[in-house]
Amino acid sequence: MNVTVVGLGKIGLPLAVQFARSGCKVRGADVNPETVSQVNSGVEPFPGESHLGEYLGEVVADGRLEATTDTASAVAESDYVVVVVPLFVDDEARPDFGWMDSATDDIARGLRTARGTTVIYETTLPVGTTRTRWAPRLEAGSGLTEGKDFHLVFSPERVLTGRVFADLRKYPKLVGGLSQEGARRATAFYEEALQFDARPDLQRPNGVWDLGSAEAAEMAKLAETTYRDVNIGLANQFGRFAASHGVDVFQVIEACNSQPYSHIHRPGIAVGGHCIPVYPRLYLWNDPDATVVRAAREANKAMPAYTVGLAVGAMGGSLADARVAVLGASYRGGVKETAFSGVFDTVAALRDAGAEVVVHDPMYSAEEIRGFGWEPYELGREIDVAVLQADHAEYRDLESADLPGVQVVVDGRDILDRTRFDGVRVISVGRPEPEVAR
C-alpha cells in the first residue's frame, strides 16, 4: 500500500515509521523543510520518543519512508492518506482550524488525480467536523464526490508521546467512516499496518473497532479524555475536603479503588498537556450545557492557585520577598513539553503573592528556562520555599540538602519522601495539614 502521512510531529512521524515497518510505502508530508530534511537523513527531529531514532533510521535506509514538503504530489500517489496535523486552540480551547484547513486544501489538490483514495483524520476534533467541514472542503478542492471517488474516515490517535509504539499495540484502533465502504477500507488498512497485543480484559478482541460513524469515533476520543478530566476534578475536590478535615485522601482513594466499580484518579497541582485540559473544552464547544464537564474543568484550573495558597499559609500568610523554586516546567514527568503546563499558573500565582520565583526542570537548559521569561534555578542554591509541579523521576530522591534554606516544600504530585526533609514542613496536595518530618 502507498500511504501518505500528513504532519510529521510527535504523533505523525512515529505513525509513518510504524506503517513503513509494517510493509507500506510511506511518504511523510510536512510544511517544515528542516523536519523533512532530518527525516530524509534518518535523524529524529525531536528527542524522547522510545525507539523512534532506531526505527526511523531503518525505514529510511531501506527506502520504505521518505519525506516531502509537497503534500499534494504525495497524496496523488497514495491509496491512503493519514492526517495528523495539529488543531490549535486559544486559552479557552476554542479551535483554530487554520493549519488543518491548509493541509486539507493540499490533500484535495492531490485527490484530483487519485481516485479511490481513503483519507483518514486522526487529529482530535469536535463532533461533526469530519462530515461538516472536511468532506465539503475536500469535495470542493478536488472536484470529486466523497463515498464515490474517495472515502473519508475519522480514527482518533490514542497514544501518549514517549511511548507511541507501545500504545499502538495496546489500545483498540477506533474507526468511523462517512460510508460503510470507507470504514471497511480503513479497517483493512489498520489491520495491515498495526499489530495488537492480546487484551483478555476487553469484551471483544483487541484490534480495529468500527464504531459505525465518524461522529461516534470523534465523540469516543473526546469522551475518554473528558472522563479523565472530570475524574481528576472530583479527586481534587475530595483532596481539598479531606485535607481540611485531617483525612489522608490517598488512603481513602486506595480503599475506594479496591472495589471494582470505583476508579478514582489522584489529586494534584495541575492538569496539563495537549489532551486533558483541551478536549473537554472541545466537547463543551459542541455541548455548552454540559455542567459536569465545565465544573470539573474549573476545579482543575483552580488547583495551581490553591497549591500556592498552601505555601502562603505555611509561611505565615505571606510570600512577600520569599525566594520560591518551582520544580518542573513540563506538564508531566519525563516529557519535555509545556503545553498547558501548570507551571504557568503556578508562577503567576506565586508572583501575585509577592514571591521571587525561580524555575528548575532537569529536561530544560538554563537558557531555555529564561526563554519562558523565568529565572532558572539550580539545585543546591538557597531558597525559602519549593513547589513541586512536575513528577520527574529525578525529583523522587530529593532531600533537604538539595534545597538549602528551604522552610516549606509543597509537593504538588505527592512523590517526595518526607523523611528526607528533616525539620522542613512538607505539604502534599490532598493530604492532612502538614507535619514537620522527624
pLDDT one-digit tens code per residue, 308-366: 999 999 999 999 999 999 999 999 999 899 999 999 999 999 999 999 999 999 999 99
On the 0-12 / 13-18 / 19+ scale of CB atoms within 10 A, 200 is exposed
Q: Catalytic one among 10, 24, 173, 221?
A: 221
In a shared domain, residues 316 and 392: yes
Whether pLDDT at 434 is above 70: no
**Cell matching residue 51:** 525507539
Whether pLDDT at 437 is above 70: no
Distance CA 283, CA 437 (A): 44
In a shared domain, residues 307 and 169: no
Distance CA 156, CA 222 (A): 9
In a shared domain, residues 240 and 273: yes
In a shared domain, residues 339 and 429: yes
In a shared domain, residues 179 and 113: yes
Distance CA 91, CA 101 (A): 20
Domain residues for 75? 2-211
Tell me how many domains the chain contains: 2
- Of 149, 177, 211, the position where a domain reaches its end is 211
Whether pLDDT at 427 is above 50: yes
In a shared domain, residues 73 and 200: yes
What sign does the CA torsion over 340, 346, 349, 352 have?
A: negative
pTM over 0.75: yes
In a shared domain, residues 225 and 195: no
Whether pLDDT at 438 is above 50: no
Residues 74-92, mean pLDDT to the nearest whole number: 91
Q: Catalytic one among 25, 170, 275, 301?
A: 275
In a shared domain, residues 204 and 219: no
pLDDT given for residue 433 in this prediction = 65
pLDDT given for residue 353 in this prediction = 97
In a shared domain, residues 135 and 198: yes
Q: Which residues of 323-351 are buried (b: 16+ CB within 10 A; e: fewer)?
A: bbbbbbbbbbbbbbbbebbbbbbbbebbe
Distance CA 239, CA 217 (A): 33
Closest alpha carbon to 155 in 204, 110, 194, 116: 194
Regarding beta strands 408-411 and 425-428, do their DSSP bridges make them parallel or antiparallel, or are they unpaired? parallel
Comparison of pLDDT for 48 and 165, the residue scoring more? 165
pLDDT given for residue 436 in this prediction = 44
In a shared domain, residues 242 and 118: no
Q: Is there a catalytic annotation at residue 173?
A: no
Whether pLDDT at 94 is above 90: no
Mean pLDDT of the chain: 95
Q: Is there a catalytic annotation at residue 25?
A: no
Whether pLDDT at 435 is above 90: no
Q: What is the CATH number of the domain that holds 63?
A: 3.40.50.720
C-alpha atoms less than 13 angstroms from C-alpha of 232 in its C-beta half-sphere: 25
In a shared domain, residues 91 and 203: yes
Residues 133-148, mean pLDDT to the nearest whole number: 98
Residues 140-162, mean pLDDT to the nearest whole number: 96
